[in-house]
Structure 1
Amino acid sequence: MPTNSKVGVSDIAKHAGVSIGTVSNYLNYPERVSETLKAKIGAAIQELGYVPRRAAPSPAQTTTGTPIIGYVMTDIEHSLFSFIFEGAQEVCEENGMQIIGLNASSDLERQHELIRTLIGMKVAGILLSTVQDSAEDVAAARAANIPIILIDHTNPYEGTPVCSILENNVSVGRIAAEELIHTECKRIAFAAHSFDYEAIQDRQLGVEKAVAQAGDGVTFQLIDSGGLMVEDGRQLGMELSDRAEQMRREDSDNSSVPDIPIPDGIVAGNDTLAMGLLASLHERGVLRVPDDISVIGTEDMWFQAISPMPLTVVQAPGIDMGRKAMTQLLDYAENPVSHVHGTTLIEPTLIRRASTRA
C-alpha cells in the first residue's frame, strides 16, 4: 500500500486494536510497549502506509520563527483528548505551526502549572480541555495577550468571554436512548457516576428527553455505578445478574419479585463503564447481550482487548473538535478586535455494533 500522510494515529490504533496512547508510546517511548503489541502496531503502520508527522520543536527552538500552540488536555489516557490533539495538529501543520500536548492528569493544580509554563514559553496560542471551570487560566492567558480556546467545557458565565468547543452531549444521550427505543427496548437506564461532571449531566438529560418523548410504555431508570472505571462496570454487571437470578427463582416459586425491574437497554456514562459491564454480563451468562439487555457506550474508545464483543457507541467527534478549536484560535489571533466569542456544539455519530439489537 502506498504511503498516505493523511493516515493518523487514531487509524493505526483502530487497525491494530489498541488504544491511541499505546500507539503514541510505540512512536515515542517504544520501551513502554510489549513485543506483541509492537508487532501489531508495526503491521498496522505498514498496511496503512502511515507517515509520522514532523516532531514538534522543543521550547528552545521556538525562536526559529515556527509558531507553537500548546494544548493542555484533561487526561491523555482518554481517547477523546488524543483525537482532539490529532485534529488540532492537522490544522497547525496546514498553517505552518506546531503543537505540543501537555497532560493535566485530571488535576486542577497541575493544569494551572501547565498553563503558567505555556505562558512563560510565549506560545502563539493555548487550547485547554479544562478539568473544571478555569476563569483563572483564561484570565492569565488573556493578561499575557495569548489567545485561548476551551475544549470540552463551557465557559462560566461570570468568567472572561472565551470560545468553547463542545461535543453536544445532550445529543449523545438522546441518540443512544432513541436507538434503544427503536430496537424495542422498553426499560431504559442511564448508568453513570460523577453526576456533577458537565458531560455526564448532559448525557443523562438527553436520555431523559428521549424517554419522555417516547411516551407510555417506555420507562427511565437512573443507576449510580459508583464510578466510571471498568471495575465499576463489572460490579454493575454482577449486581444485575444476581437480581435476574433472584427474579427467576422467585418467579418459579410463584413468590414476590423485586420492585426494581432489570433494564433491557443501558446507556453507559462512558465507554470504560460499558466495557466492564459487557465483560461481567458475558462471564456470568445470566443476561444475554443484546437479547436480554442492550448496552451503548458514549465515546468510542472501545478496543478488543477488554470488551468481549464490539460495543455500539455514540462516537465523540474528537478530531472535528480539535480542528474547529484550532480554526477558532487562528481567527481570534488574526482578528482580536472583530472576533466574536461563542460556544460551538459539534454533533456525535451513532456507530452500530454487536452490543445492541439489529
Structure 2
Amino acid sequence: MAVSIRDVAQRAGVSVGTVSNVLNRPEVVSEESVVRVTQAIEELGYVRNEAARKLRGGVSSTVGFVVLDGQNPYFNEVVRGAEDEATKHGIAIIHGNTDNVKQRERLYLDLFVEQQVRGVLISPYGDITRELKELRSRGIAAVLVDRFSGDNLFSSVSIDSVLGGRMAVEHLIRTGRRRIAFVGGPFDVRQVNDRLAGARVAAEHSEVDVDLEVVATAEMTIEEGTAAGTRLLARPPSERPDGIFAANDMIALGLLHTLVVDGRMLVPDAIGLIGFDDIPFAKVGAVPLSSIQQPARMIGRTALRVLLEEAHDPESIPRRTVFQPELVVRRSTAPST
C-alpha cells in the first residue's frame, strides 16, 4: 500500500498541513519540524508525486475547478472562460461537477490537494469556509466563483444575484403581471436564496399590488421545471400565476416546454416567463426566453486571474469582484393583452 502524506504526518507527530509546508514551503516551517518530517519520509519510503515536485519548484501547471452543476451550460461557459485565461499562462484546468452533493465536493477537494494543484476555483454547495481554510493551511489558494464570502475571508468573483432577481420581477410587473411565482430550489444554494430575496424586494416595493408565491424545486434542472409546470397546470385557472421568474434558465426551459405542449397557458399571452443566466439555449426555444444575463466567460477569466495572483502572493488581502447583471428581453415576456 502506498504511503500517504497522512502517514508521514502521524510518524512525525505533526499536522498534515505541516508536512505539506515542508514539501512545498519549507521556509515557513521550523527547522525541527523539517528534520522530523524528512526523517519520517525516509523511514516510510514516502514518494512524492510529480505534481508535488513541480509545485516545490513553483511551476505547478494545474488548477482545480469545482462547479455546482455541470449540466447547466452556464457553468460550462464559466469554465471555458477560466480555460481561455489559463492557456495564456500555460496552465490546465481540471474540473469536477458536484451536482449539489456535499460528499462529491469534498471528494474533488481532496483529489486536488493530493494532486498539489496551484489553486482551486469553486462554486460551492452550502458553507465551504472550513474546507477553504484547510486548503489555505496547505498553501493552496482558493477563490469562490458565482458566490461571495460572507465573512470576506476569501476572494470571490460573482454577480449581484439579489439585483438580478429584483430586475426579473420588476420586468414582469412592467409587462402587466400581478400574480407572480418564483420557481426554484434547493434553498441551501446561496444563489437561489439571493434571487428570491431580490424578487421579494421588487414585489414589496411595487407601486401596484403584486402577489409573489414560491414554488419549490428539488434541483435546478429542466426536469424539475417540467414537474413544476405540471403542478401549476393542475390548479384551477383562477389560482395560476400570470408571471413566472425561474431561478435559472434550465428550470425556465422545463416550464416553457410543459406550458407550450399543454397549450392552456400560452407564453406570453397567458403567462410571462423569465429565467436567469441567459444560456445559449434561451434564445432558440419555441418561444425565445427572456433572462437575466451573467457574463459567464468574464467571470471565469477574472476568477483565474485572481487565483493566480493569490497563489503568487499568499499574503494578499481577499477581494470581492461583483459584476452587474443585465436584463435580456425576448418574446416570453411580451406584455400581457
Residue number among 146, 149, 160 corresponding to 2:143 in the alignment: 149
Aligned to 2:169: 177
Provide the C-alpha distance between the structure 2 equivalents of 1:60 and 1:332, rounded to a whole number of angstroms.
19
Q: Which residue of 1 aligns with 2:287?
A: 309
For 1:167 and 1:187, locate their aligned partners in 2 and report how far apart those are by CA, in whole Å: 27
Match of 1:192 among 184, 208, 229: 184
Question: 1:354 aligns to what?
Answer: 331
1:91 Cα deviation after fit: 1.8
Matches within 5 A, 1:205-354: 205-225=197-217, 227-243=219-235, 246-247=236-237, 261-301=239-279, 303=281, 307-337=285-315, 339-354=316-331
TM-aligned CA distance change 1:169 to 1:302, over 3 Å = same
CA distance 1:271–1:61, change in 2 (3 Å): farther
**What secondary structure sits across from 1:288 in the alignment?**
coil
Q: TM-score, normalised by structure 2?
A: 0.75
Shift of 1:60: 9.7
Tell me the equivalent position of 2:15: none
| Whole-angstrom distance in 2 between the partners of 1:328 and 1:89 | 14
Residues 222, 242 of structure 1: CA spacing in aligned structure 2 closer, same or farther, 3 A cutoff? same
The residue aligned with 1:17 is: none
Q: 1:305 to 1:83 in 2, by over 3 A?
A: closer
Which structure: larger Rg?
2
Between the aligned partners of 1:235 and 1:71, the Cα distance in structure 2 is 31
The 8 Å contact of residues 82 and 303 in structure 2, kept in 1 or not, is answered as yes
Question: How far has the Cα of 1:302 moved from its partner?
Answer: 5.7
Which AA in structure 2 matches 1:91? Answer: E
Gaps of at least 5 residues in structure 2 are 1-49
**AA aligned opposite 1:269:** A
Q: Which residue of 1 aligns with 2:194?
A: 202
Q: CA deviation at 1:105?
A: 3.7
Partner AA of 1:297 in structure 2: G
Structure 1 stretches lacking a partner, 5+ long: 1-57, 248-257
Distance 1:239 1:204, change over 3 A: same
- Return the offset for 1:270: 2.0
Identity across the alignment (%): 30
**How many angstroms does 1:349 deviate by?**
2.1
1:138 counterpart (132, 139, 149)? 132
1:68 paired with 2:62, answer yes
Q: Measure how far apart 1:149 and its partner are.
A: 0.9
CA contact (8 A) 1:189 1:222 kept: yes
Q: 1:74 touches 1:106 (CA, 8 Å); kept in 2?
A: yes
In 1, are the aligned partners of 2:282 and 2:289 still within 8 Å (CA)?
no
Distance in 2, matches of 1:103 and 1:80, equals 13
The amino acid of 1:147's aligned partner reads A
Q: 1:103 to 1:230 in 2, by over 3 A?
A: closer
- Aligned alpha-carbon RMSD (Å): 2.8
How has the CA–CA distance of structure 1 residues 144 and 232 changed in structure 2, closer, same or farther, with 3 Å as cutoff? closer
> Contact 1:300–1:314 at 8 Å: present in 2 too?
yes
- Normalising by structure 1, we get a TM-score of 0.71
Change (3 A) 1:293 1:105: closer
